[in-house]
Amino acid sequence: MKKTVKDINVAGKKVLVRCDFNVPMKDGDITDDIRITSALPTIKYLVSEGAAVILMSHMGRPKGEPKPEYSLKPVADRLSELLGTEVIFAASPQVVDDNVKKTAAALEGGQVMLLENVRYRAEETKNDEPFTGELASLGEIFVNDAFGTAHRAHCSTAGLAKYMPSVSGFLIEKEVKFLGDALESPERPFVAIMGGAKVGDKIPVIENLLKKVDTLIIGGGMSYTFFKAMGYEIGKSILDEESIELAGELMKKAEQMGVELLIPVDSVCAKEFDNNSEKAVFDRDKIPADMMGMDIGPETVKLYCDIISKAKTVVWNGPAGVFEMPSFAEGTRAIAGALAESDAVTVIGGGDSAAAVEQFGFADKMTHISTGGGASLEFLEGKELPGISCLEDK
């Protein structure tokens, strides 16, 4: 267990807080502020305890240069609205300079400031000096609450922990609790649902989950790599050529371990990757050469929803089909609906799966929706996350 902000005295201290304010932007406006609202509990707690709060985050990939389109100024404005108090924005292309140091030094307990995008500095993603030291000079305590970047060792994540007492914020605490409990002490049956497009990325996750779950369900684009490994033709479906062999090995492994590994039995196929394309349902061994699998079919939906209804813990990563197109959203919607109806502990990891659950209106029916796509995947893979392991133990 890692120490949290509640385990230390922050009153009157300068507290550096790494958040994940990497919000989607369009024409200078924030299109979804969930990452900002997710950070509020920690910020509000620190303010109420009388800490001088210095916030840090990255946004997008400015690649180590100050690029105005990646400025955190809009985040400072939104935060000010949400907190109902001014968030001082330290607008410096170097992120830390003499002015910023002065502002930080003058910051009083209960006040909040936000630094400019830490990825304006090339050192950030290399976890290199002098940037880490410059950041460290601003504060006395480090709080990491950026789950979305916890799988990266950067200056503002793992780097700062070498300089000062370091603890987690409430968001990281919550993520670790829900993802960790699901993996380490799940109520059974424990079912994992894996889907989405990136099979290669997800094979290590499947491998780790096989050791933990009772049933592993495969859906989405990765199904076709498994079909291929089973010897079926998949037409124009998405395929990860390099992962065919591994998919075959995973099936064997599951059998040896006595874990139920379910591959879709049928598939909604289309002529083109287009919502309006001609479509039809085929059994998994009968996909025509001129068509591509876009969603799990109705038989698969029935089978999967039945398994989900009996589960006590479900972890879901990756949509069951091309849910962005209404014609191919049914499988994903049905799974999300089954999760919403179930009384199991339901944990959603992965950016697109979270978006799907949100889109279908089931978000408030889930036990936990992870805010970190890549980080939650690495967590499920069983990897140590450097932004978390660097924090003090209780």
| Residues in CB range of 278: below 8 A, 6 or more apart | 270, 271
Nearer to ligand ADP, 159 or 221 (CB): 221
Active site residue 374: yes
Question: Which CB, 183 or 322, lies closer to ligand ADP?
Answer: 322
Would residue 351 show up in a list of annotated catalytic residues for this protein?
A: yes
Structural element, H or E, at residue 52: strand 52-56
Tell how strand 292-296 and strand 266-270 pair up. Answer: antiparallel
Cβ atoms within 10 A of the Cβ of 62, count?
A: 21
Q: Is 148 in the site for Mg ion (CB under 5 A)?
A: no
Task: State which of positions 325-354 bind Mg ion (CB under 5 A).
Answer: 351-352
Q: How far is the CB of 386 from Mg ion (least distance, A)?
A: 22
Residue nearest to Mg ion (CB): 352
Q: How far is the CB of 350 from ligand ADP (least distance, A)?
A: 3
d(CA 130, CA 146): 22
CB under 5 to 8 A by kind: which of Mg ion, ligand ADP, none does 198 bind?
ligand ADP
Rg of the chain in Å (alpha carbons): 23
- Cα angle, residue 317 at apex, residues 271 and 195 outer, rounded to 5°: 25
**Which positions lie near ligand ADP, rule CB under 6 A?**
196-198, 220-221, 238, 293-294, 317-319, 321-322, 324, 350-353, 373
Phi-psi category of residue 320: left, alpha or beta, with phi > 0 → left and psi -120 to 50 → alpha: alpha
Contact of residue 319 among ligand ADP, Mg ion, none (CB under 5-8 Å per partner type): ligand ADP
Site for Mg ion (CB under 5 A): how many residues? 2
Q: Which of 2, 35, 152, 333 is catalytic?
A: 35
- Residue with smaller CB distance to ligand ADP, 90 or 322: 322
**Dihedral sign for Cα atoms in the order 120, 122, 123, 125:** positive
Which is closer to ligand ADP, CB of 171 or CB of 369?
369
Between 155 and 199, CB nearer to ligand ADP? 199
Cβ of residue 381: shortest distance to ligand ADP, in angstroms?
12
**Residue 162 to residues 11, 93, 159, 176, 393: CA-CA distances in angstroms?**
22, 25, 6, 22, 14
Distance separating alpha carbons of residues 101 and 97, to the nearest angstrom: 6
Give 54 or 229: the residue with its C-beta nearer to ligand ADP.
229
Give the residue with the Cβ less far from ligand ADP, 197 or 281: 197
Cβ-based neighbours of 21, under 8 Å, separated by 6 or more: 35, 36, 39, 55, 57, 58, 59, 72, 75
Nearest-approach distance from CB 239 to ligand ADP, in angstroms: 10
Annotation marks residue 196 as catalytic:
no
**151 by DSSP, 3-state: which?**
coil
Minimum gap (Å) between residue 48 Cβ and Mg ion: 36
* Partner from Mg ion, ligand ADP, none contacting 197, C-beta within 5 to 8 A by type: ligand ADP
CB 47 within 8 A of CB 54: no
Give the nearest distance from C-beta 277 to ligand ADP in angstroms. 12
Task: Based on the residue annotation, tell me whether 152 is a catalytic residue of this protein.
Answer: no
Is residue 388 within 8 Å of residue 168, measured between CB atoms? Answer: yes
| Structure-token match 């592993």, residue found | 216
What order do you get walking across the sheet with 313-317 strand by strand? 260-262, 215-218, 190-194, 313-317, 345-349, 368-369
Instruction: Quickly tell me which residue has 């069951």 as its tokens.
Output: 320
Interaction between residue 378 and Mg ion (CB under 5 A): no
Tell me how far, at minimum, the Cβ of 221 lies from ligand ADP, in Å.
Answer: 3
Catalytic residues: 35, 198, 351, 374
Contact residues for Mg ion (CB under 5 A)? Answer: 351-352
